[in-house]
Amino acid sequence: MAWMDGSGTEYLYNAAMQYFREKTAAYKRFVHIPRLQMDLGKKAQSATIRCMNTFTGYGEVVMRYKAGSDPGETDPVFDPDNGITVTESGDYYVRAFPVGESIYGPSPAAIASFTKAVLQTLPTPSISVSRTSSTQGRVTISNTSSYPSGTMLVINGTSYSMTSSVTLSIGTTATTVTVYATYNGDEYYESQSATASRTISEYVPTCATPSISFSSSTNRVTITCSTSGATIYYRRGTSGSYSVYSGSFTISSSTTIYAYATKSGYNTSGTTSRYCSYTAPTPSLPTPSFSISNYSYDRDDLKRTVYFRFSNKDAFPDGTSFTLTYHPVSSYNSDQTSTYTKSNFPSMQTFNDGGSYGDWSITLRASCTGYISSSITASP
């Protein structure tokens, strides 16, 4: 049984293995395909590709990778523990290769596709500026809705959470305002946009808007301005040129008055207006042409008879009332008054008197509805 000693056993083993290899040569076996996982980096600018399975039972295995096509046994090694980090878009192929003599062939290639995100840039701030007072200005950003949440605005060095309007404390001189839009979040934006700058103009005071007053009883217009030394310009009606205001004036028909004010070193005021409704003036009655033509005195009856001359009675309109008042000096009698019309006005009148000495006079007053009264006093 010499063939069963050690050399015989080795012979049988080798013969069996040769038989096995010959029989299995037609049935090639491969390492199984890697199972890959890809994690995107910040803002999708990179990706980490990892292998999620092991190759126990295949003997020693080396993983290799290549961009764009199947890797060979000379391509870079794929770290099974940490994977690889890629920064360029493309398809990445990963295969497992058995080391040394093995009944297994390399695995089929697993493919991980990475598309690098194109970063957007924050839009340039669209800003406008204005001066709100001698010490403040306002910055308005009109395109805030186009920024991602979390954008910060840096205005003249001070950071603000997203806002559409900021009021700044500034001096009276011209001030340049610079606005940055910054973003450091995870969305696909660059960290900072371009800069926008505008200049808030030097502070120039504005003339006060004039005030227009109107007296309907006199049809007189008066215009004033609270800015000392300002020149007021005014116009009657909606057309025509403006004139320099030099003092109050009257109107002869209803109209709208417009006015504005200017002063050197000041902005022109706003224009104000006022409608002025003309009121026709009340006419005056003519002054009576009245005189005392003669008089006499009765000492027994203490009465004075006075004769009149009223030469312009017909110049008064119909309906005029004439009041004749006798003013004695005597302390015994008070004024004596009688009222007449044009048609019954007397040529003489007798008045009671307390004595024959002292001054006396007669007043004639004319009044009529729609007219300003007139009067005259006559003495002997």
Residues in the chain: 380
Last residue of one domain, picked from the residues 200, 227, 259: 200
Check whether 184 has a pLDDT greater than 90: no
- Per-residue pLDDT tens digits for 324-375: 999 887 666 688 999 999 999 999 999 887 665 667 899 999 999 999 999 9
Nearest Cα to 170, choosing from 226, 220, 130? 130
- Say if residue 110 is in the same domain as residue 132: no
- Say if residue 227 is in the same domain as residue 150: no
Check whether 3 has a pLDDT greater than 50: no
Residue 23 belongs to what H/E stretch? helix 6-24
Q: 2 falls in which pLDDT band (50, 70, 90)?
A: very low
**What are the structure tokens assigned to 27, written together?**
């049935």
DSSP state of 182: E
- Say if residue 238 is in the same domain as residue 297: no
pTM: predicted TM-score of the whole model, two decimal places: 0.44
**140 domain residue, yes or no:** yes
- Say if residue 110 is in the same domain as residue 54: yes
**371 domain residue, yes or no:** yes
**6 domain residue, yes or no:** no
**16 domain residue, yes or no:** no
Q: Which residues of 209-236 are buried (b: 16+ CB within 10 A; e: fewer)?
A: bbebebeeeebebebebebeebebbbbb
What is the C-alpha separation between 87 and 45, in angstroms, rounded?
6
* pLDDT for position 191: 63
Nearest Cα to 72, choosing from 97, 55, 54? 97
Question: Residues 6 or more apart from 34 whose CB is under 8 A from it?
Answer: 51, 53, 63, 94, 95, 96, 107, 110
**22 domain residue, yes or no:** no
Last residue of one domain, picked from the residues 174, 200, 226: 200
- Per-residue pLDDT tens digits for 287-308: 999 999 999 888 777 888 999 9
**206 domain residue, yes or no:** no
- Say if residue 193 is in the same domain as residue 158: yes
- Say if residue 173 is in the same domain as residue 136: yes
Phi and psi at residue 377, to the nearest 5°: -115, 130
What is the C-alpha separation between 250 and 233, in angstroms, rounded?
16
SS3 66: strand
- Per-residue pLDDT tens digits for 109-153: 999 999 999 888 888 899 999 988 889 999 999 999 988 888 989
Last residue of one domain, picked from the residues 83, 114, 145: 114
Neighbours of 102 (CB within 10 A): 15
- Say if residue 262 is in the same domain as residue 332: no
Residue 135 belongs to what H/E stretch? none
**358 domain residue, yes or no:** yes
> Any idea what the CATH number is for the domain that residue 218 is in?
2.60.40
**61 domain residue, yes or no:** yes
- Per-residue pLDDT tens digits for 244-258: 999 999 999 999 999
Cβ neighbourhood burial of 321 (10 Å; 0-12, 13-18, 19+): middle
What is the C-alpha separation between 353 and 157, in angstroms, rounded?
101
Q: Domain range for residue 348?
A: 290-378
* pLDDT for position 1: 44
- Say if residue 224 is in the same domain as residue 262: yes
- Say if residue 218 is in the same domain as residue 189: no
Tally of domains within the chain: 4
Place of tokens 């048609």: 343
